[in-house]
């Protein structure tokens, strides 16, 4: 199953302006691959646009709980407000939509 995570932080908690958060995030980034693997989570993409205090993750994981545990155990919940979105591929989404009765 694939998930998109959108994580927000305040300017005060941004690694670009906060030395403690910068150090914490650098340490967490170094540990993330092993932690993700231990939880059965595969990071597909992690990116930061750098202008609006957000991080974006695309993850393959067996469950919502695995993604949530990654965010907790990595320490991200201490500086980020994270939104986890289970997603379908476009093909799966169109198939699912095709099984629904149209409303209009």
Domain ranges of the chain: 2-98
The CATH number fitting domain 2-98, selected from 1.10.1200.10, 3.10.100.10, 3.30.70.1060, 3.40.605.10: 3.30.70.1060
Spell out the residues 6+ positions from residue 73 whose beta carbon is closer than 8 angstroms to its own.
35, 39
Tell me the pLDDT band of 41, cut-offs 50, 70 and 90.
Answer: very high
Which pLDDT band holds residue 65 (cuts at 50, 70, 90)?
very high
Q: What is the pLDDT of residue 53?
A: 95
**Model pTM score:** 0.89
């Amino acid at each position: 199953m694939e998930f998109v995570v959108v994580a927000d932080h305040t300017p005060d908690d941004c690694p670009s302006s906060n030395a403690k958060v910068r150090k914490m995030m650098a340490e967490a980034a170094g540990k993330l691959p092993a932690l993700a693997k231990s939880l059965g989570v595969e990071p597909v993409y992690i990116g930061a646009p750098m202008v609006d205090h957000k991080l974006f993750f695309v993850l393959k994981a067996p469950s919502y709980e695995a993604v949530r545990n990654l965010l907790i155990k990595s320490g991200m919940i201490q500086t980020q407000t994270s939104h986890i979105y289970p997603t379908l591929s476009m093909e799966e989404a169109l198939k699912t939509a095709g099984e629904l009765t149209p409303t209009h």
